């Protein structure tokens, strides 16, 4: 069991994905601090919708929320030349790398020695790949690898998001993924 004063920064991609991970981290004895850092979101309106949902989840769990300023150009620069890559390809790896690198830096800046991400709860994301990225960008901050999908994590996080009646998006957030949504 982790000490109760053990802070951990959790990168949150959205309210839906972070609901159960926050609960589980608290159950494990961590004190989660949510870091909403998503320059990949295609519009400021989408950023605001997801941020509102994240605020609802953080209020529900009674935990701190830190919001990174929206800067889509940062994402576009990170994935330059990979715009036509297929979903789950090199563009997605660069996107995850960017957000986890920013999370590691934020944790370090705040004096929080550990970080993790809610991205791994998605059935569309590769846990091992994210774990490798998290470890590679950690820069003196420990990446805590937790497979939030286990023990029906995805089901539990979706149930909570429905109970809280929060915004439920149908794409990862970038304009490249949005163009592949089947309508």
What are the pLDDT digits (tens) for 30-40? 999 999 999 99
Give the pLDDT of residue 177.
Answer: 77
Does the domain formed by 6-178 have CATH 3.40.50.620? yes
What one-character-per-residue DSSP string does 101-124 give? HHHHHHHHHHT--EEEEGGGGSTT
User: Using one digit for the tens of pLDDT, what is the confidence trace for 45-80?
Assistant: 999 999 999 999 999 999 999 999 999 999 999 999
SS3 content of the chain, % helix, strand, coil (to 5): 50, 15, 40
Report residue 169's pLDDT band, with 50, 70 and 90 as the boundaries: confident
């Amino acid at each position: 069991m982790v000490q109760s004063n053990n802070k951990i920064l959790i990168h949150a991609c959205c309210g839906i994905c972070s609901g159960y991970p926050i609960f589980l981290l608290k159950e494990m004895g961590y004190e989660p601090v949510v870091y909403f850092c998503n320059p990949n979101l295609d519009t400021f309106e989408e950023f605001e919708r997801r941020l509102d949902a994240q605020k609802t989840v953080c209020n529900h769990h009674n935990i701190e929320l830190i919001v990174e300023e929206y800067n889509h150009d940062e994402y576009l620069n990170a994935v330059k030349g990979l715009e036509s890559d297929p979903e789950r390809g090199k563009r997605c790896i660069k996107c995850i790398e960017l957000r986890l690198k920013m999370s590691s830096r934020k944790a370090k800046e705040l004096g929080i020695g550990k970080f993790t991400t809610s991205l791994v709860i998605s059935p569309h994301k590769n846990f091992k790949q994210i774990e490798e990225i998290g470890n590679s960008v950690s820069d003196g901050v420990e990446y805590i690898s937790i497979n939030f999908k286990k023990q029906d994590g995805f089901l539990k996080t979706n149930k909570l998001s429905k109970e809280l009646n929060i915004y439920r998006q149908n794409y990862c957030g970038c304009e490249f993924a949005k163009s592949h949504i089947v309508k």
